[in-house]
A and B are shown apart, each in its own frame.
Chain A
Amino acid sequence: SQQGEEDPQALSIQEGENATMNCSYKTSINNLQWYRQNSGRGLVHLILIRSNEREKHSGRLRVTLDTSKKSSSLLITASRAADTASYFCATDGSNYQLIWGAGTKLIIKP
């Protein structure tokens, strides 16, 4: 099921700039996860934030979660060419499934 909406659909920035992507969802969640997908490959997990957490960091990644607004954001600081990829959010609810957003395509220009 697709319940997440990601914003923007596409983002093109210069290397070294920060990139911010947003995810909105509709139902209650246990956690929210962010994944990266390089062109034509499988998805790779980046970070998981639980419903009782508001912010989480992992290296150059910063994720925030606002359960009152049912939204999350992913910030990538000091972007690099290797960050060029599609980024997906997924919410983990009360059943076995992850519910996926449509993704943001990020292009880092050298």
Chain B
Amino acid sequence: DVKVTQSSRYLVKRTGEKVFLECVQDMDHENMFWYRQDPGLGLRLIYFSYDVKMKEKGDIPEGYSVSREKKERFSLILESASTNQTSMYLCASRVPTTEAFFGQGTRLTVV
């Protein structure tokens, strides 16, 4: 059974903290994605990676960075968490032109 695993389902962090969200996939997929999902705004792409050490900015990269040192792992970093980054974060992976597989989501609250 294919799997995308996000390190946490729920996370509470303080303003100004550096936050790491980890995502691991076991399908040897080239492409990995980080989205945030807010009510009424749908899925918005933060960053994606099409290969190891390769990354591209999505629609809302400000305040975020990513790391992909190994093919199976794609990390999202909030350099200095702010309350407007409270959201649901979704990681996905896929082979180009095929379906995407999603993790279970991380609901991050920044207080």
Contact = CB atoms under 8 A, between A and B. Distances in A.
Contact of B90 (A31, A42, A101, A102): A42
B60 to A, nearest CB: 10
Contact of A41 (B33, B48, B104): B104
Contacts of B90: 42-43
A100 B48 CA distance: 15
A97 B45 contact: yes
Contacts of A45: 99-101
B104 A103 contact: no
Contact of A98 (B4, B88, B100): B100
Interface centre among A30, A35, A42 (most CB of B within 10 A): A42
A42 B102 contact: yes
Contacts of B101: 45
Nearest to A46: B99
B76 to A, nearest CB: 15
B100 A40 contact: no
Contacts of A58: none
Given A2-B42, A43-B90, A103-B42, A33 B105 contact: no
Contacts of A23: none
Given A97-B33, A97-B45, A101-B42, 17 more contacts: A1-B45, A30-B97, A31-B97, A33-B99, A35-B100, A41-B105, A42-B102, A42-B103, A42-B105, A43-B90, A43-B92, A43-B102, A48-B99, A100-B42, A100-B43, A102-B40, A103-B42
Interface of A: 1-2, 30-31, 33, 35, 40-45, 48, 88, 90, 92, 96-98, 100-103
Interface of B: 4, 31, 33, 40-45, 48, 50, 56, 58-59, 88, 90, 92, 96-105, 107
